[in-house]
Amino acid sequence: MKKIVIMALILLLIANASARPEYMKDFKNFSDKVKKCTLCHVQSSGYGGLNPFGRDYAKIGSLTPELMQLDSDGDRFSNIEELLNGTMPGDKDSYPGKKAPGYTTSLLLAIIILYLVKRKS
Protein backbone atom coordinates (compact mmCIF):
# COMPACT_ATOMS: atom_id res chain seq x y z
CA MET A 1 0.00 0.00 0.00
CA LYS A 2 2.80 2.39 0.92
CA LYS A 3 4.56 1.82 -2.41
CA ILE A 4 1.36 2.57 -4.31
CA VAL A 5 0.85 5.82 -2.41
CA ILE A 6 4.46 6.88 -3.01
CA MET A 7 4.17 6.12 -6.73
CA ALA A 8 0.89 8.07 -6.90
CA LEU A 9 2.56 11.05 -5.23
CA ILE A 10 5.49 10.95 -7.63
CA LEU A 11 3.13 10.83 -10.62
CA LEU A 12 1.07 13.66 -9.17
CA LEU A 13 4.09 15.89 -8.72
CA ILE A 14 5.49 15.26 -12.21
CA ALA A 15 2.17 15.58 -14.02
CA ASN A 16 3.23 18.94 -15.42
CA ALA A 17 5.95 17.47 -17.63
CA SER A 18 6.83 19.36 -20.78
CA ALA A 19 5.19 18.64 -24.09
CA ARG A 20 7.11 17.22 -27.05
CA PRO A 21 10.03 19.45 -28.02
CA GLU A 22 9.29 19.49 -31.74
CA TYR A 23 5.97 21.24 -31.07
CA MET A 24 7.27 23.44 -28.28
CA LYS A 25 9.83 25.23 -30.47
CA ASP A 26 7.13 27.72 -31.46
CA PHE A 27 6.45 28.45 -27.78
CA LYS A 28 10.04 28.85 -26.54
CA ASN A 29 9.56 32.53 -25.69
CA PHE A 30 6.48 31.93 -23.56
CA SER A 31 6.14 30.97 -19.90
CA ASP A 32 6.91 27.41 -18.83
CA LYS A 33 3.34 27.36 -17.48
CA VAL A 34 2.03 26.82 -21.02
CA LYS A 35 4.68 24.35 -22.17
CA LYS A 36 2.59 21.28 -21.40
CA CYS A 37 0.68 18.73 -23.43
CA THR A 38 -2.55 20.48 -22.39
CA LEU A 39 -1.52 23.52 -24.42
CA CYS A 40 -2.90 21.64 -27.44
CA HIS A 41 -4.42 18.42 -26.03
CA VAL A 42 -7.45 17.76 -23.85
CA GLN A 43 -5.51 15.40 -21.57
CA SER A 44 -2.19 16.00 -19.82
CA SER A 45 -0.93 12.71 -21.26
CA GLY A 46 -1.23 14.15 -24.76
CA TYR A 47 -3.97 11.67 -25.63
CA GLY A 48 -7.69 12.30 -25.99
CA GLY A 49 -7.54 14.57 -29.00
CA LEU A 50 -6.81 18.23 -29.50
CA ASN A 51 -8.42 21.08 -27.61
CA PRO A 52 -9.70 24.16 -29.53
CA PHE A 53 -6.27 25.86 -29.57
CA GLY A 54 -4.61 22.61 -30.67
CA ARG A 55 -7.06 22.27 -33.55
CA ASP A 56 -6.47 25.87 -34.64
CA TYR A 57 -2.68 25.45 -34.34
CA ALA A 58 -2.80 22.21 -36.37
CA LYS A 59 -5.00 23.82 -39.04
CA ILE A 60 -2.83 26.94 -39.39
CA GLY A 61 0.47 25.10 -38.88
CA SER A 62 2.47 27.61 -36.85
CA LEU A 63 2.22 30.68 -34.63
CA THR A 64 0.92 33.27 -37.05
CA PRO A 65 -0.63 36.67 -36.31
CA GLU A 66 -3.95 35.12 -37.37
CA LEU A 67 -3.66 32.34 -34.76
CA MET A 68 -2.52 34.77 -32.08
CA GLN A 69 -5.53 37.06 -32.63
CA LEU A 70 -8.05 34.20 -32.37
CA ASP A 71 -9.83 33.33 -29.14
CA SER A 72 -9.69 29.57 -29.68
CA ASP A 73 -11.44 28.61 -26.43
CA GLY A 74 -14.07 31.37 -26.47
CA ASP A 75 -13.20 32.86 -23.06
CA ARG A 76 -12.97 36.47 -24.42
CA PHE A 77 -9.15 36.52 -24.29
CA SER A 78 -7.09 36.22 -27.47
CA ASN A 79 -4.60 33.39 -27.76
CA ILE A 80 -1.70 35.84 -27.48
CA GLU A 81 -3.16 37.40 -24.30
CA GLU A 82 -3.41 33.96 -22.76
CA LEU A 83 0.07 32.84 -23.81
CA LEU A 84 1.64 36.06 -22.53
CA ASN A 85 -0.16 35.63 -19.20
CA GLY A 86 0.77 31.95 -18.81
CA THR A 87 -2.78 30.66 -19.26
CA MET A 88 -4.05 28.02 -21.67
CA PRO A 89 -5.61 29.33 -24.90
CA GLY A 90 -7.41 26.01 -25.45
CA ASP A 91 -9.09 25.84 -22.03
CA LYS A 92 -11.99 28.23 -21.40
CA ASP A 93 -11.51 27.77 -17.64
CA SER A 94 -7.92 29.05 -17.83
CA TYR A 95 -7.68 32.77 -18.51
CA PRO A 96 -5.71 35.82 -17.37
CA GLY A 97 -6.66 36.89 -13.87
CA LYS A 98 -7.99 33.50 -12.77
CA LYS A 99 -5.80 31.83 -10.18
CA ALA A 100 -4.84 28.31 -11.24
CA PRO A 101 -4.38 25.61 -8.59
CA GLY A 102 -0.96 24.51 -9.91
CA TYR A 103 1.61 22.95 -7.61
CA THR A 104 0.15 24.46 -4.44
CA THR A 105 -2.89 22.20 -4.67
CA SER A 106 -0.76 19.21 -5.70
CA LEU A 107 1.61 19.75 -2.79
CA LEU A 108 -1.26 20.14 -0.32
CA LEU A 109 -2.84 16.94 -1.62
CA ALA A 110 0.50 15.10 -1.32
CA ILE A 111 0.90 16.27 2.30
CA ILE A 112 -2.62 15.13 3.18
CA ILE A 113 -2.05 11.71 1.61
CA LEU A 114 1.28 11.28 3.42
CA TYR A 115 -0.37 12.29 6.70
CA LEU A 116 -3.16 9.76 6.23
CA VAL A 117 -0.71 6.98 5.32
CA LYS A 118 1.51 7.81 8.29
CA ARG A 119 -1.52 7.85 10.59
CA LYS A 120 -2.58 4.36 9.42
CA SER A 121 0.90 2.85 9.97
pTM over 0.85: no
Task: Round to whole Å and give the CA distance between 30 and 28.
Answer: 6
Task: Give mean pLDDT, residues 85-96.
Answer: 93
Confidence tier at 15 by pLDDT (50, 70, 90) = very low
Nearest to 36 by CA among 56, 15, 57, 19: 19
Confidence tier at 7 by pLDDT (50, 70, 90) = low
Give the Å distances, CA to CA, from 69 to 31, 39, 73: 18, 16, 12
Mean pLDDT rounded to a whole number for the chain: 81
Task: Give mean pLDDT, residues 19-26.
Answer: 74
Q: How far is CA 2 from the centre of its chain?
A: 28
Confidence tier at 22 by pLDDT (50, 70, 90) = confident
